[in-house]
Amino acid sequence: MVLPNILLTGTPGVGKPTLAKELASRSGLKYINVGDVAREGALYHGYNEEHECPILDEEKVVDELENHRAEGGVTVDYHGRDFFPEQWFHEVFVLRTDNSILYKRLETRGYNEKKLGDTIECETFQVLYEEAMLSYKEGVVHQLPSNMPEEREDDRNQILRWTEQWVKAHSPGLVTGWSSYSTRLVASLANSSLLGLGLLRRPRATGSATSNPFWASEALPVQSSRAPPSPAEPPWGRGLVEPHTEAFPALAGVLTGPPVDQVCDTEDSEVDRASPVCGHRGHAGQEATPSPQVAPWVLPLGSPDSGEKPGSLGTCALSADLALRFPGLSAHL
């Protein structure tokens, strides 16, 4: 399952790690505290006498975090954002605390006068919020109040809801052929968050693959036990244009339809011997493991029982077509 990366930011004392740890304990999001990472790796290049703290070596921190970030599903906690590449984060949450409350929290930390004053000023002038607003596209940055424990619960639930939406919208759109390979592949994906599943087949009665280049002429009904994606944010299908094959509209229907938890199967064994002719992830007999970095994706499969070359069955063309028309769906041919 692919998970988003979140930046949790805000002035020191607003409650970033407190919230981030709660999030981590209730979701698959991994918590990364930049301060801890820097301490563990001694990623500093000096000391700030005035604020009595080491100075972060930002380049080294970015290098250190790159692998985690690339895997996805991290919540990074830091009082700033300026040195993180913009594309690292899918959503940015800025925690905000009223000055009087923040002052009390910081006092108990033993901040010196200068550091305390600067920190309060930073919150008063909403420096981190404005910085974030300037650095990210509209709609990415959200403010969350962090004064009372009850607010923390609301904040946590809001982030979890948003994460769930994101996961649904970025789950694999899988187009698969009709083979033992595909059945195994689908089984390996069954626990991931499948948004739509098109199982394709050439009906027994209709001629050969050659006479029907789009052999995948039928999209099987899918079982659905999840709520459909919010109509306000359809994950697929916006801007879909003139379907030109039999298979395309059927698949489009599957991809734009409600998400599925269950995989449908059939006893039709006509092409059960099939191995993928243009899948890039392996051949019949090998387990296919979806890469979390590459999703959503399409696995084009063909039936080699016709002895045809990859692509001649139309699966590559169909997948490429779908990928072109569905934003976010990629085809690996």
- Residues of the binding site: 13, 15-16, 18, 109
Does residue 17 interact with ligand ADP by CB under 6 A? yes
Does residue 18 interact with ligand ADP by CB under 6 A? yes
Nearest to 25 by CA among 171, 160, 138: 160
- Of the candidates 3, 4, 6, 15, which one interacts with ligand ADP according to CB under 6 A? 15
Dig out the tokens for 227 from the structure. 């709520």
Instruction: For tokens 């305390």, name the residue.
Output: 116
Does residue 4 interact with ligand ADP by CB under 6 A? no
Does residue 314 interact with ligand ADP by CB under 6 A? no
Rg (CA), the chain: 25
- Of the candidates 151, 270, 272, 308, which one interacts with ligand ADP according to CB under 6 A? 151
Does residue 9 interact with ligand ADP by CB under 6 A? no
- Of the candidates 152, 170, 201, 202, which one interacts with ligand ADP according to CB under 6 A? 152
Q: Could you tell me which residues are annotated as the binding site for ATP?
A: 13, 15-16, 18, 109
Does residue 68 interact with ligand ADP by CB under 6 A? no
* Secondary structure element (H or E) that encloses residue 30, with its range: strand 30-33
Of the ranges 52-60, 111-119, 140-148, 282-290, which one interacts with ligand ADP (CB under 6 A)? 140-148
Angle at 319 between CA 318 and CA 320, to 5 degrees: 95
CB of 149 to ligand ADP, least distance (A): 5
CB-based closest residue to ligand ADP: 15
- Of the candidates 2, 3, 6, 14, which one interacts with ligand ADP according to CB under 6 A? 14
Cα distance between residue 190 and residue 147, in whole Å: 41
3-state DSSP assignment of residue 1: coil
Of the ranges 6-14, 130-138, 289-297, 309-317, which one interacts with ligand ADP (CB under 6 A)? 6-14
Angle at 264 between CA 260 and CA 265, to 5 degrees: 160
Contact 177, 274 (CB under 8 A): yes
* Secondary structure element (H or E) that encloses residue 117, with its range: helix 113-124
Q: Helix count (H) and strand count (E) of the chain?
A: 10, 12
Dig out the tokens for 322 from the structure. 């779908």
The site map against ligand ADP for 85-114 (x = CB under 6 A) is --------------------x---------
CB of 217 to ligand ADP, least distance (A): 56
Cα distance between residue 288 and residue 187, in whole Å: 10
Interface positions, 173-212, toward ligand ADP (CB under 6 A): none
Number of chain positions touching ligand ADP (CB under 6 A): 15
Instruction: For tokens 């985690």, name the residue.
Output: 68
Q: Which is nearer to ligand ADP, 95 or 288 (CB)?
A: 95
Contact 118, 70 (CB under 8 A): no
Which positions touch ligand ADP (CB under 6 A)?
Answer: 10, 12-18, 105, 146-149, 151-152
